[in-house]
Amino acid sequence: MNSDATSLDVTTPETGMPVLAHKQERPHTPHFMLQEPTPEAPLPFGRYQLIRRIGAGGMGEVFLAREGGPHPRACVVKKVLPNLVANRAFVGRFLDEAKVVVRLKHNNIARVYAMGDVGGEYFLSMEYVQGKTVSRFTKRLRDRKAEMPLGLILLLGEKVCEGLQYAHEAKDETGSPLHLVHRDLSPANVCISYRGEVKIIDFGAAQSTLKEEQTAPRVVIGNLTYMAPEQAKKLIVDGRADVYSCGVMLWELLAWHALPQKGDPIERWRRAANPVWDAPSKTNGVIPRDVDELVLKALKKEPGERYSNAAEFGEALRKARMRHAPDVKERDIGELLARVFHKEKVNEDYVLQEVVYGKTVTPMVGDRSRLSMVPPTALAFEHTAVMAPADILKQNDEITDPGRPDPTLNDDGTPTPAKDPRLLGPKPQQVHLLEQRKSFGLTFGDVHEPLIEASLIQEIDATGDEEPYVSGEAYTAEYRGPTGLQKLALFGGIFFVAVGLGFLGVWLALK
């Protein structure tokens, strides 16, 4: 650490062990970086060299960086916006979270190396995972009209459960349990590396006994599509809520049916609070019955009817994998990922050479300025937050259960007033659910706050339109129309075809 760094940095470079020190007051005005880093001119930042600016999130800027030392490594550094440093609530949550996440050291959880302060600038540094999120992976497979094999899905779920169980059992320095719950597990928060490693990439919304500040009573953190019913209803949750979320992710992969991520927030919230699930085999007939049963158990509405913990769910997935695909290994899922993201992986390999070894590289194709990548951890600690009206948290409307026949409708699907009292009474007041992004207790997305760059979300969460897939391993960002030679060949071909058809018509007439 350089002389500008305070003792807030929560890990030491020598041991990597947590150091829970207090921030020292700085007598001078903090200075903030103004210039853009480049591979040829990286910017020093504590023990890091900032190599590339990846983009911006709600809480600050994101950089691809190199951590120095005898064994330099690539990492992701996220710098907090200067105006947030003066916000006591934000800094309190930031320091509170630092005490938790730096303790998590498991092969199936992406590491947070440090959260600290350099020269008055708060930052966090995270493991660079060279790979893609499950959401990106599955979208690319669907674009190619391909599916993920059963064995790989079971192995993926098994490894996620191993990471969850470790976090759920995590303890503080005195040996007391932290009672961590992820609360935002989804395909966008699970990453697969090109080596086949499965990593949960964000515990930034984790609930623990170390939290000094609690989320506002009406704010529900997490993705409604994957949220456990008790969490949607703002009830106390434990590790079984993460088991449920893992079950939703596996249901989506097994059924190979993309669950909706948008739509009426009220309806989505009600479905999250009152779920009913069909067996995955109803959508994908090749799924074995025993796999149906183990996933549906994880998706039980009542926590007490699910697996008691993530380890139990993981063991059920392991046994199913041994029955149906005993030869599947982690490298198999990594090889599949590398095949469908071949071009991206090659360019990422070049960029990592730049970051770790300081080598100037040339991209596989195109201009060097286009040589970039967005690691899955770039949006870490920024989560979907749903602001629910106070009265809606008390509702339990079974009519909105997904997949369940609506008892208020006739056989032809038309409403029956006699069956639905809501159609007889006065029209209820319209209710709105506001979905925004939160980070360390603050909400982003308002016109007065910084916005998360759309490119980051698209790259990480696979939202929006992506580059079209072209046969083979080539991809194109846009189609610019035919070139001059192509136009000449096209018009020439049309002319000769027209002349030929004319001669043919004359010959047939003369006969």
Which sequence positions are flagged as catalytic? 184
**How far is 232 from 152, CA to CA, in rounded Å?**
30
**How far is 75 from 50, CA to CA, in rounded Å?**
10
**How far is 48 from 42, CA to CA, in rounded Å?**
9
**How far is 339 from 319, CA to CA, in rounded Å?**
28
CB-based contacts of 63-69 (< 8 A; 24+ apart in sequence): 63/37, 64/128, 64/351, 64/355, 64/373, 64/375, 65/125, 65/355, 66/42, 66/355, 66/356, 66/358, 67/13, 67/113, 67/125, 69/13
Q: Where are the alpha helices (DSSP H) in 256-364?
A: 265-273, 289-298, 310-324, 330-340, 342-357
Q: Per DSSP, which regions of 6-162 are E strands?
A: 43-45, 48-56, 60-67, 73-80, 112-118, 121-127, 131-133
Is residue 46 within 8 Å of residue 2, measured between CB atoms?
yes
- DSSP run (H or E) holding 500: helix 484-510
Angle formed at CA 251 by CA 250 and CA 252, multiple of 5 degrees: 90
